[in-house]
Each structure stands twice: as C-alpha cells, then as structure tokens.
Structure 1
Amino acid sequence: MSKFIRVRAGLLRETHPGERRVALTPDDVGRLSERISFRFERGCGVGAGHSDDAYIAAGAEPVDFAEIASSSDLFVSVRQPIATRAFPATSVLLFLGWKTAPIAIPPTGQQPLHLDIARLSGLPGLKGADISSGQAAITGHAAVLEAARQFGISHPMLMVDGSFVRPVKMAALGSDPASLQALATARRLGAVTFGFDLGNDSQARIERLGAKFLGTSPEQELGRLRRELSGPLSKVQLITTNVMNPDRTAPVLLDEEMLSQLSPGTVIVDLASESGGNCALTRADQTTDIFGIRIIGSTTLASQEAAEASRHFSDGLRNLLEHLIDAHGALRLDGGDSVTAALLDEGSPARHASS
C-alpha cells in the first residue's frame, strides 16, 4: 500500500454546552501528520487555548462542518457529536462516552461506526489508552475546587492570628477515579475527609488517601450512610457523589429526607448527574438550592481546566491513533486485536476503513 494513502481525519468542535476541551492539541496533530491528513473545524481549540493558526502551523486545514463532514473518513472529538450532525455512513467516530452504555453497531452502509474510548479503561498494554480515568481525575479535582468556591472558602486550613480555622469536613460517595481525586484534593487543602462506596473492595483505596471509610457491606451501606449523615457527618460541608450502575440510572444515595438533615450551607457536587444523579433533587447542568444546601449538577467540570484536560486527552488519543493507524496511514479495525475488540464492545464485528 502506498505510504501516501492516509486517513483523512476531521477534528471536531465540541457541541455540548459549556464544553471547552479539544480532542487533539496542535502538537499532537503535528506528530500524527505523517500518518493522517487533518482537517479541523474552525475554532475547535479556542476554549483550551489553541488558536486556528496553531493547527494550521501543525499541518491541518481549517474548514467548516459541512466540508469536514464530506471529506473525512475518521472524526475525533471529546464528546459524542450531537445527533443532528450528519456523517458519512462509511466513516468512524471516535469519542469519549460511557463504557457502561451500550453502543449499537449499525448495519454496514447505514450509519457511521461509533467507537467509545471509555471502553479502554483498565486495558493493559496500550500506553495512554485509559483516557477516561485521567479525565475523571481532573473532574474530581475541579469538583472540590468548585465546591470550595461555592461554599465561600479559599482554603480549609486558613490560619488567622496564629491559629488554624476549624478544618472543613468533606465526604466523597464513590471510589472511582473522580471520587478518589476529589478526596486527594480536599485532603491536600486540609479538609477532614470521609469516603463511602457500594463495595468492600474500595476500603483500601479510600483509606490510602487518609480518609475514613464509611462503607460496611452492600446490604448495610445505605443504612450506614443514612446514620452517618444524620449523626457524625451531620456537619459535613462539602460532598461529592459519583456512584453508578452499569447500563442503568445512577442509584439515589441522598433522598430528600437525608438532604434536609444536612447543615445549611452544605455544597454537594453530583458527578453522576448525566446518569440521573445520586441526589434525589439533582438536575443535570443546573444548580439546585433547597433546604439551605446547594446541589451542583454540572457536566462540564473538566472544562474548568480545559487546557490541562485537553493536553492529557490528546496525549492518550495520539497513542491510540498510532495503534489503530499503520505506518502507511491505513486505519485497521481488526476484531482480533484486544484494543479494537474493546472499542467494539466484546469483539463485535468490525468495519475496516482506510482512505
């Protein structure tokens, strides 16, 4: 195959309201330029601090969406493109979604092939493949900083006249990368931290971060959480939640009765808001004020650190593209390859694509 036959890739501008990240930085576009011919949607990197001129200097061509859609084989983005955006039926879309959500493999010739990068989470042997965990950690860090801002504090261990102000109490419900990073960030800021999760295997991860573990057994945990929030944790001031069930809406951990028992001024950041939320009153992309507490349902917290989040996302995506696209510039989706099998969800039939 000729070395000059290269995948024609389209770098998309994000369409989710408030999303400022970009899937590839100009530096990584330049590194991939020998294998891939890039077109980019104008303004795609502005929110993350990358100008159109920087992408042009890296060898990419600026175009509008209509042109990028008609002239590309592979489309990359941070989030799954909105349904109103039409792509060629033979193309491939690569984005970060939810590994627990089913992705239907459409019949050949009807719709583009959707590949969810989140399905690579925990896959060994591919450098930088676990993009979702990195983005989750950034989200957890941003959640604590946002909660502290909403709570009206700049540092939980502020010293006044030689004495420390009483430290803030913070609880993280969940032991995923976002929740663990939230605990670590709060701990670094001097907060007294507590961790809760629906499983015994999370205790070691939570306690390694210096937090007190609240979970017991799956049958007792919700009752234990209710008792803790009405007793020892009744004065908790910052809470992050991120507990989800595969292929289902997120479980409600904080019902209205439990929320009403929290101290006025408490701030909750519900990181499961896109899946329905762990709080009974969470609304995605909204902030709810009730019982004197504030529930933040933002789905774009990683965008508060868009430049760093994009750098990490781009680094992982570059490694993934270097794995999927050979030295001749051809995209090979081989179901026998563990990475491709994971992207296709347990080895569903792959479509082979090349320019």
Structure 2
Amino acid sequence: MKIGIPKEIQPGETRVALVPAHVNLLTKDQHTVLIEKGAGQAALFSDAQYEQAGATIVDSAADLYAGAEVVFKVQPPFLNPTTGEHEAELVREGTSYIGFLDPFNRKDNIEIFTRKCITGFAMEFIPRLTRTQNMDALSSMATLAGYKAVLVAAARLGSIFPLLSSAAGTLYPAKVLVLGAGVSGLQAIATAHRLGALVEAFDPRPVVKEQVGSLGALFIEMALPADPKIETASGYANQQSEEFLARERETISARLAKIDVVICTAQVFGKAAPRLITREMLDLLKPGAVVIDLAIEQGGNCELAEPGKWVEYHNVAILGAANLPATLPVDASTLYSRNLCNFFTHIFPAGAKGLTLSDEITWASCATHAGRVVNPLLGQKEVKEGSGSNE
C-alpha cells in the first residue's frame, strides 16, 4: 500500500503524522511511504531524515493525495487559504483516511467523505480498551496538554510554585486547583505537584479519588452524592443537568479564594464542555491568579476564556489554551505517529487483502465507509458489521 503523509496547513499546527523513526514500521511490511515536501519541518524533522528512513518525498499535496491509498493526518481536512482547495477534495475516491476528524463539528468533511466513498477513521472514536491503549491518540495528546498547561501557568504567575526558604525570608507554595481528573487533568496534577505546588482537584466522579490522591493532590468531594449516571460505560463524563452543574459550581466556588492557578480540563465527549467557572466566580480569585482552560475547543469551562488568547479580568489572567500539543511538536508528533502506526497495523495487518470492518476496534473507529455514515455516534441508527476493499 502507498501511505501518504501531507504537510499540515491549519494555522498554528506544527505536528506531523509520521516521524522518520517510525517509517520502518510500515516499510518492513512492504508498504510505500510518501511524505509531502516539508511535512516534518515544523516538528524539526527534515526531508533528508525521511529519505534516509526509506520514505519518498513528494513535491506537492496534490501529487501526494493522488498517489496515496491511505492518508495519515493530524488535523481534520481544512480549506487551504492559499490555494482555495479543500484538503478533503484532494483525497482520491476510495482512499482510507486515518486521523483526527472532529466529526461532531466538521460535518463538511463527513459529507465529502461519503460523497467520495472515502473510508474515514476518526482517532477520537478508538474505544477505550486495554488493547487499544497504544493507539489512543486522544490520551497521548491530553497528557502533553496537561503537562504544558501547568508550565504556561507557572510562567504567567507572578510568584513561584514551590516552597522556598532563604535568608531573605520564606516564599510559600502556590495553590493549584485542577478541574477534571481525566488524562489531561491527572497529568496537570502530577506536573504541578512536581513543581512544588499544593494541588487540589475536583471531579464529580468518586472513582478518580484514589488516582488523584496517589499523585499528591487533595480530592475535593461534592457536598451531595454524585449522580449515578456521571460516567459512561467507556469512562467518559456524561453531560449533566443544570441543577447538577450548579452544585458543582458551588463546590468549586468554596475553594477559589485561596487559589493561585486554575487548570480547567473538564470535557464531555461529543458535547459542549460544562461551564464550571462563571464571571462572578472569577471575582473570588486572588489578584494575579491564572486560569488555563484546556476545554476551550469544546466551548470552555471558564465563561470568559477565548480560544488562543489571554484575557485579563479584574487582575486575573485567563487563557483559552487551544492545541497545546502543537507547542511540543517533537514529542507530540512522536507519540501521535506511534499511535497511528499501531492503529494502521491493526486494521491492515501484514498479509491482509483489503480492509475488514468486522473487528470491534476497526468498526468502532470508522466514521464513513462505502459512501455512507456508519458510526452510531454520528447518527447512524443501525450499525451493521461488514467488510470492504481499500482498493
């Protein structure tokens, strides 16, 4: 098979879908790897490195898409502002596409994929199973986002994170509140704790209390019992009623007066992020406090957060931290590349003839196939197992 890796064109995106070190994971099974010229440049991977690893450099995106049977990508297909061409329109009919699709919001791509009979695999849809952990790109990127969010907050805060005693006096540790104890939240807790901060974490799911405590943070419990439907069978948080959100905000408000940094990570899969910090709640924070909202791409946990911008409100600095993994392009690309390779070798095992969708992981991850939407999360009422060729 010919596997194509185009250069990402979305503004601010620095990652590449395949790193040179992983080219051999594909070529050893007799696949051909096509790399668009300059695709790895923003992630500090040169064309020469790809060629040395056994890949072929292609001069343009149009040539790459025309030759690829399978496409690896980071961002969903995007309208190129320079050429006026939509990336999805460049993908040839019958191709298999693997990458983040943002399928709940980017309906344009789903429409193009079905029209062109493109088999679209959404990395967001990979089920959370023990045997899919090495394919779980959402968790890989969330880990980096949680880590970087704390570093960004520490750089912005006007005081240091750790306890420091000197002849000139004692500086007391910063207090950090992490909202949400999913993958990014747990990494934020661990990073802030390592930097010496006193860390608290809030999550309505009692099941995460032990994990939070093991990382050195204080788990903040709600005054009322958690809703029994707080979590899906897949481990994602469920969307909650406004009454439940009001109870959450009340619990959070009681902690804010002594907090220096708030890291917001609470998200609901496929839905808008819960609004956990209102404008009025920001008034409870100390002057100089910092809020980093990692849920901004789903609408944000903080009312005043704006994507990619610092907002100042009553001496509180608020950042809607969009796409933080792209600020760590080397490691983000390396993790994502390995996730993609692991997923690819699962759906196209060595020696396989064409694509088989009967496997649980393959089918659950598939958004479009054979000219139709096949994933129930996108509104397909009846999911039928089947198979088809990648040709």
- The TM-score normalised by the length of structure 1 is 0.88
Q: 1:107 to 1:149 in 2, by over 3 A?
A: closer
2:365 matched to 1:343?
Answer: yes
Structure 1 residue 225 displacement after superposition: 4.1
Tell me how far apart the structure 2 counterparts of residues 19 and 215 of structure 1 sit (CA, whole Å).
Answer: 37
Aligned residues: 347
2:250 pairs with 1:226: yes
Cα deviation digits, residues 137-176 of structure 1 (max 9, x gap): 1110011001111114564334433865200000110011
Distance 1:16 1:102, change over 3 A: closer
CA contact (8 A) 1:21 1:303 kept: yes
CA distance in structure 2 between the partners assigned to 1:184 and 1:108 by the alignment: 42
1:305 aligns with 2:301: no
Q: Tell me the residue number matched to 1:275.
A: 298
Instruction: Tell me if the contact between 2:263 and 2:292 (Cα under 8 Å) persists in the aligned partners.
Output: yes
Alignment partner of 1:95 out of 82, 93, 99? 99
Q: Tell me the CA shift for residue 61 of structure 1.
A: 1.7
Question: Could you tell me which residue of structure 2 aligns to residue 260 of structure 1?
Answer: 283
**Offset, 1:241:** 0.8
How many angstroms apart in 1 are the aligned matches of 2:113 and 2:335? 33
Check whether the contact 2:248–2:276 (CA below 8 A) recurs between aligned residues: no
2:177: which partner in 1? Answer: 171
**Contact 2:159 / 2:174 at 8 angstroms: preserved in 1?**
no
User: After superposition, what is the alpha-carbon deviation per residue over 1:184-219, rounded to whole angstroms, capped at 9, x for unaligned?
Assistant: 100111111111123332322222222112232356
SS in 2 for 1:279: coil
Residue 222 of structure 1 deviates from its aligned partner by: 4.0
Q: 1:158 to 1:303 in 2, by over 3 A?
A: farther
8 Å contact 2:158–2:288 — kept in the other structure? no
Question: Which position in structure 1 is the counterpart of 2:67?
Answer: 71
User: Is 2:35 aligned against 1:40?
Assistant: yes
Deviation digits for residues 265-307 of structure 1, max 9, x if unmatched?
1111111100100111111122211121111112121122221
CA contact (8 A) 1:90 1:108 kept: no
**Seq. identity, %:** 27
On the 8 A contact 2:126/2:132 being kept in 1, the answer is no
Point out where structure 2 has 5 or more consecutive residues left out of the alignment.
Answer: 80-85, 228-242, 367-374, 377-382
- Helix, strand or coil at the partner of 1:234: helix
Quote the Cα distance in structure 2 between the aligned partners of 1:31 and 1:242. 34
Q: Which runs of 5+ in 1 are unaligned?
A: 1-6
Quote the Cα distance in structure 2 between the aligned partners of 1:241 and 1:40: 36
Structure 1 segments, 4+ long, off by >6 Å, are 99-103
Are the counterparts in 2 of residues 106 and 113 from structure 1 also a CA contact under 8 Å? no
Q: Give the 3 Å change call, closer, same or farther, for CA 11–234 of structure 1 in structure 2.
A: same
CA RMSD of aligned residues (A): 2.6
- Correspondence 1:29 to 2:33: no
Once the 2 structures are TM-superposed, how far is the Cα of residue 82 of structure 1 from its aligned partner? 1.1
Task: Give the deviation of 1:242 after TM superposition.
Answer: 1.6
Q: 1:17 to 1:327 in 2, by over 3 A?
A: same
What displacement does 1:223 show?
A: 3.4
Q: Output the amino acid matched with 2:65.
A: A
Task: Give the aligned partner of residue 205 of structure 2.
Answer: 199
Question: Helix, strand or coil for the counterpart of 2:186?
Answer: helix
